[in-house]
């Protein structure tokens, strides 16, 4: 029996078209087009919801949270949900949804690297692939999935790793969960990481700072002055920082601001390995949390959800550490 899938449109290149001198801009064509898209007919009963039509750099955490809540409510009446989204912030929206959704039904995010009118459009193919994945029995209870370029990724691990290619979405060091072949959907593996923060609120006072050589403590001070509840620092390698930042980090910790160390390196975990001033062990001894292999932009969203739920740095630290793959 054909499954009932809700397709929620939010915008992005998949909903855009090149308009002469204006460049690539949002267009209202996709919603109309999808209503009569013949290839969708045989796959599932698809209803289209024209929710938003914005470039995804306009997406804020609050909007991502509202989208997740919408999915959680709407999915009660469907077998699965597909969300079309801009590629620029897709990994953030999909990850936040993965954290806060209570449903175990399939939820699939997809997008396009090419806008309407381009040669070799990837959008329609990605939509069909996503509807097929959302309709597939093995997609149940896998967390939020991202389908792009005939590949299935988890929201937790996927990153946009290229600015222009159709195979821009990858899960570095891990590879996709499966593929969407013309005949069947094939799952090769499961992800062992499942994290949920079932919250009714988000606290967005979480900043992300990327370490660069010679970085100045003024960015940490700025976060302190602007009432950050947590600061994520994308440190070097295993989680190391220059020692000049230590007084600033200590100042933040003394004010109960949660400091979380992620890595600016593409793959691998941060570890309490180096004991020199500013090294990962030194930071950990000082009270900073090490974020395992979770990337900075996702650590930031997770802390927003945790502060929204617990509103208490001690509980946030406890729950954050518990769910990380850290030592």
HSE-CB of 214 using CA atoms within 13 angstroms: 0
From 83-91, 116-124, 171-179, 315-323, span contacting ligand ASP (CB under 6 A):
83-91
27 binds ligand ASP (CB under 6 A): no
**Measured distance CA(298)–CA(234) in Å, rounded:** 11
Of residues 113 and 211, the one with the C-beta less far from ligand ASP? 113
From 67-75, 81-89, 125-133, 305-313, span contacting ligand ASP (CB under 6 A):
81-89
**Measured distance CA(300)–CA(289) in Å, rounded:** 13
- Out of 3, 46, 56, 223, the only residue in the binding site for ligand ASP (CB under 6 A) is 56
- Within positions 112 to 171, which residues make up the interface with ligand ASP, using CB under 6 A? 113
Tokens 């900073």, residue located: 288
Active-site pick, 13, 110, 154, 170:
13
**Measured distance CA(80)–CA(6) in Å, rounded:** 7
Bridge-partner residues for 216, per DSSP?
A: none
**Measured distance CA(13)–CA(303) in Å, rounded:** 29
- Contact of 85 with 111, CB cutoff 8 Å: yes
Beta carbon of residue 311, minimum distance to ligand ASP (angstroms, whole number): 32
Active-site annotation holds for 13: yes
- Out of 84, 87, 171, 326, the only residue in the binding site for ligand ASP (CB under 6 A) is 87
Q: Which residue is nearest to ligand ASP (CB)?
A: 86
Contacts of 15 (CB under 8 A, 6+ apart): 9, 26, 27, 28, 29, 30, 31, 53, 84
- Out of 12, 116, 279, 292, the only residue in the binding site for ligand ASP (CB under 6 A) is 12
- Out of 47, 88, 221, 273, the only residue in the binding site for ligand ASP (CB under 6 A) is 88
From 66-74, 85-93, 141-149, 303-311, span contacting ligand ASP (CB under 6 A):
85-93
**Binding footprint of ligand ASP, residue count (CB under 6 A):** 9
Return the closest-CA partner of residue 253 out of 230, 278, 219, 222.
Answer: 230
Of residues 112 and 290, the one with the C-beta less far from ligand ASP? 112
Contacts of 199 (CB under 8 A, 6+ apart): 100, 305, 306, 308, 309
282 binds ligand ASP (CB under 6 A): no
Report in angstroms the alpha-carbon separations of 299 from 7, 218, 229, 239. 28, 21, 13, 14
Of residues 81 and 111, the one with the C-beta less far from ligand ASP? 111
Catalytic residues: 13
Residues engaged in binding ligand ASP (CB under 6 A): 12-13, 55-56, 86-88, 111, 113
């Amino acid at each position: 029996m054909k499954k009932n899938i809700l397709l929620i449109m939010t915008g992005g290149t998949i909903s855009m078209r090149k308009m002469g001198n204006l460049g690539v801009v949002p267009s209202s064509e996709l919603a109309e087009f999808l209503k009569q898209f013949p290839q969708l007919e045989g796959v599932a009963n698809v209803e289209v919801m024209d929710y938003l039509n914005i470039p995804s750099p306009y997406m804020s955490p609050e909007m991502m949270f509202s989208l997740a809540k919408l999915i959680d409510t709407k999915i009660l009446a469907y077998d699965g949900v597909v969300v079309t989204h801009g590629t620029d912030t897709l990994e953030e929206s999909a990850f936040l949804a993965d954290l806060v959704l209570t449903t175990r039904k399939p939820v699939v995010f997809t997008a396009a690297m090419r806008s309407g009118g381009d040669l070799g459009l990837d959008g329609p193919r990605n939509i069909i692939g996503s509807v097929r994945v959302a309709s597939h029995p093995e997609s149940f209870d896998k967390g939020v999935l991202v389908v792009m370029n005939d590949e299935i990724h988890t929201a937790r691990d996927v990153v946009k790793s290229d600015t222009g290619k159709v195979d821009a979405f990858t899960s570095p060091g891990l590879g996709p969960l499966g593929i969407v072949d013309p005949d069947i959907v094939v799952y090769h593996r499961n992800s062992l990481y499942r994290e949920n923060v079932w919250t009714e609120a988000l606290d967005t006072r979480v900043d992300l700072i990327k370490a660069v050589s010679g970085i100045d403590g003024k960015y940490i001070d700025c976060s302190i002055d602007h009432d950050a509840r947590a600061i994520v620092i994308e440190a070097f390698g295993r989680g190391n920082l220059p020692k000049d930042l230590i007084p600033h980090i200590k100042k933040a910790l003394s004010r109960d601001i949660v400091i979380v160390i992620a890595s600016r390196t593409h793959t691998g975990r941060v570890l309490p390995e180096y004991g020199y001033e500013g090294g990962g062990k030194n930071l950990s001894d000082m009270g900073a949390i090490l974020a395992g292999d979770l990337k900075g932009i996702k650590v930031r969203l997770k802390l927003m959800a945790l502060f929204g739920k617990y509103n208490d740095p001690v509980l946030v630290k406890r729950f954050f550490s518990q769910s990380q793959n850290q030592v």
